Structures are given as structure tokens and as C-alpha cells.
Amino acid sequence: MRLLLAAALLACPGLAMADPTETLLRDLSNAPGPSGFEEAVRAIMVPRMKAASEDLRYDGLGSVIARQGSSGPRVMLDAHMDELGGVLRRVTPDGFLSMQMLGGWLDQALAGQRWVIIGSKGPVHAVSSIRDIHLAAAEERGSLIKRDAVFLDVGAGSAAEVAALGIAPGDPVVPDSGFEVLNGTANYAGKAWDDRVGCAVLLMAMERLKVTGHPNQIFFVATVQEEIGLRGARTATAIVKPDIGIAIEGGVTGDAGGAHPEESQVKLGHGPGLFLYDSSALPNRKLVSLIRKVAGEAGVPLQFDLVQGYGDDSAEMQTVAGGAPTVNLVVPARYTHVHTGVINRHDFDQTVDLVVALLRRLDAKTVADLRDFTP
């Protein structure tokens, strides 16, 4: 056995130097988990959450709730496990399949892509149809292909051949887009950074705080079904009843080609982001000030953004039990809600540092001040 291991290490020198953070990000990104079908992601999260917590349970939708600490303020740190995907709707007589999309897809992101269907016999690879340029009329070539015109091709020639593959209406569909370090840079390409990058922040912060300690009851919550209406956050928050809520998300950037400066001010590789506004929630102003201070003391650069057309789990956390101060912290990501996005490793590491420092700062007096609106 030792000889086999030694031979493997010689054949693959990088194997001995595997980066555990990179491995975690790879595993989470590659795991299939569209809204309502988060099992593969939950299987990664639960063992690590259980090992770093004193109590672990689930809500009625499948969100995971792990607690550290038995006294002090109730702080909820949240990341969602689900990703954009789809569910099979119908099989045509000639073996094509239509999809019900799950989450906020752009129609132009659907055609001509690779997908994986999670069927009863295992994963089935598929390609989404697209009108062939040699057949398209001139006026079609620059037009949008609407989602109802996109079908999945699994190589089958009939509905019976589709059934033989072990797939049927109701089965989940996810993008086929594997994790990759982009050309030796600190940038990582992969699917589902919204919000697997947040899940990784949650796990690593949880494990560090188990060692260093903190003055709170922290509820680390991995939610389900965020992309279809913040549903897991609603049910999990009803159980936790937090005094303070912190959502960890994959953010957006304004630094890709063709971006408009008023849409986003965040740049990849310039540190974690904090949302001062999004369409679903406004952050607590005192909490924003505290995070600015903590980031400065920790030497973490902090970016600020205001984004239209964006929702996050803090919108549910802020409404429970009479209201709770909340904020949305993000790891910036290029190209969200499509097959492949890009994050920066330094942004990720600094987000973990900031979250750990913040959670250690939130003692009873600080939380009481954040919740005090006396004029």
C-alpha cells in the first residue's frame, strides 16, 4: 500500500501538496444541487458542520442548522446550498426533453450548452439545442433564442430510449461546468459560485472559530431553495430567531468587458464586498459601520456595492421575531447565474478573515447597541 501511495505521489507531485481550501472550493462547485435537490451539497456540508458544532439539526425543507456556543447573542451566519438549474418537464416522442428552469436564468445563457441530468441510474449528459447558423435566416442570427425553444438532447431517438437512460419528468438538471484554476492565476472558474463560495466561507469560519472561541451563540445555517424565493432562509430563521443576521453570498462585479459603472462598483481581486443596497434588503447602518471598523483593524480591503435585481437571505433574517439587524457580505464573482463564473482566491481568504474577526467582536454589549434605535 505504501509503495502504491509513493508511486502515485511521484507520478503526480501536486498530489502531496494539495491545497485543502482549493479542494473544498472544487468539491462544492462541482457538486450538483439545484433548488430543491441539494442532497449532494448537503453531503459535503453536514460532516464538517457536525464536527465543528455542539448541535446540528434540520428545518422542514432541508436547511442545515449547526450551533456553536450556548450563551450570548444569537448570531445567524447564512449561506445557501442551491444553485441555478432546471427540472425535466416533458419528453418528446423523438427523444428530446424540455426544462422548467429553476432560478433567474437569462434566456441567452441556455442554448448550446452542456448539462447533466441526475437520473435514477446516475448522471446523464445532455446538450441544449440551438438553431444551426446554416439554417437560420439572416434576421434570426442576431435574435434571442427564448427558453421555450430550447430542448435537451441526450442522444436518444425516442421516448423509450430516454426512459432506458433512467431519466423522466421531475429529474433535476445542472450545468456541466467543471472547476478549473484559470491558467495558474489566483482566479477560479466553475459553476454555482452563487452560493457555494458562501458555503465554503461558512465552513472555514466555523472551523476556525471552534479553535479560537467566540462570545456568542452562532448558528451556522446552510439553506435550501434561495434561488426560487429565499424559502430555506424563511423556515430556518423561524427556528433560529437570530439577534443578528449575516448572509454570505457570491456577489457581482462591474469589471468584466462591457460593464457599466452604475451597475456595480466591485472588482475581482480587490477584497470582499458589502451590499449597501439590494432589491430585497437594506443593511443595518450600525452593523455596516462596525464591519468597516473590523475590516480596517484586520487589514482586509472592503468594497461596497448597490445592486438592482438582487435578493439574498438577509431579507428573511431581518424580518423574524420583530426584526433583526442584518447585512449581506459577498465574495465577488464574475458571471453569476450562467454556466461558468470566476472568483478570486484572495477575495475568498480575506472574506473568511473578515467573518471570523466580526463574529468574535459581536459580544452582548455590541449586539445590544446594534439593536438600539433609541433617538
**What does the pLDDT read at residue 41?**
98
Q: Does the pLDDT at position 230 exceed 50?
A: yes
3 lies in some domain: no
E-state strands within the chain: 55-58, 64-68, 74-80, 85-91, 96-102, 114-119, 122-128, 152-153, 172-175, 180-181, 187-190, 217-223, 244-250, 273-278, 303-307, 326-331, 333-334, 341-344
Residue (of 133, 128, 171) closest to 151 by Cα position = 128
- pTM of the predicted model over 0.85: yes
Q: Same structural domain for residues 160 and 265? A: no
Q: What angle, 0 to 180 degrees and rounded to 10, lies between the N-to-C axes of helices 345-361 and 285-298?
A: 110
* Interval 130-159 mean pLDDT: 81
Three-state SS at 223: strand
Domain-terminating residue out of 175, 206, 233: 175
Q: Do residues 78 and 94 share a domain?
A: no
Share above pLDDT 70 across residues of the chain, in percent, rounded to a whole number: 93
Would 181 be classed as within a structural domain?
no
Which grid coordinates are listed for 211?
A: 479553535
Position with higher pLDDT, 239 vs 280: 239
The mean pLDDT of the chain is 92
Least confident interval from 17-26, 200-209, 306-315: 306-315
User: Percent of the chain having pLDDT more than 90?
Assistant: 81
Task: Report, as an integer, the average pLDDT of 162-179.
Answer: 98
Position 15 in a domain: no
Residues 220 and 278 in one domain: yes
Domain boundary at 109, 141, 175, which? 175
Answer whether residue 28 is part of any domain: yes
CATH of the domain at 101: 2.40.30.40
pLDDT at 316 over 80: yes
pLDDT value of residue 300:
98
Name the nearest CA neighbour of 77 among 319, 248, 275, 290.
Answer: 248
Buried b (16+ CB within 10 A) or exposed e, 88-102: beebeeebbbbbebb
* Residue 147, pLDDT score: 87
Cα dist from 163 to 93, 116, 119, 223, whole Å: 11, 16, 10, 32
User: 150 lies in which domain range?
Assistant: 86-175
Question: Do 228 and 366 belong together in one domain?
Answer: yes
Range name among 49-53, 104-108, 260-264 with the lowest pLDDT average: 260-264
**pLDDT tens digit sequence for 328-370:** 999 999 999 999 999 999 999 999 999 999 999 999 999 999 9
Q: Show which residues are catalytic.
A: 226
pLDDT single digits (tens) 77-91: 999 999 999 999 999
Average pLDDT value for residue range 185-203: 98
Tell whether 35 and 161 lie within a shared domain.
no
**To which residue does cell 429565499 refer?**
230
Q: What would the pLDDT profile of 239-271 be if each residue is shown by its tens digit?
A: 999 999 999 999 999 888 766 777 788 999 999
Domain containing residue 356: CATH number: 3.40.630.10
Question: How many domains does the chain fold into?
Answer: 2
- Flag whether 327 is in a domain: yes
Per-residue model confidence (pLDDT) at position 135: 60
What pLDDT was estimated at residue 118?
97
**pLDDT band per the 50, 70, 90 thresholds, residue 2:** very low
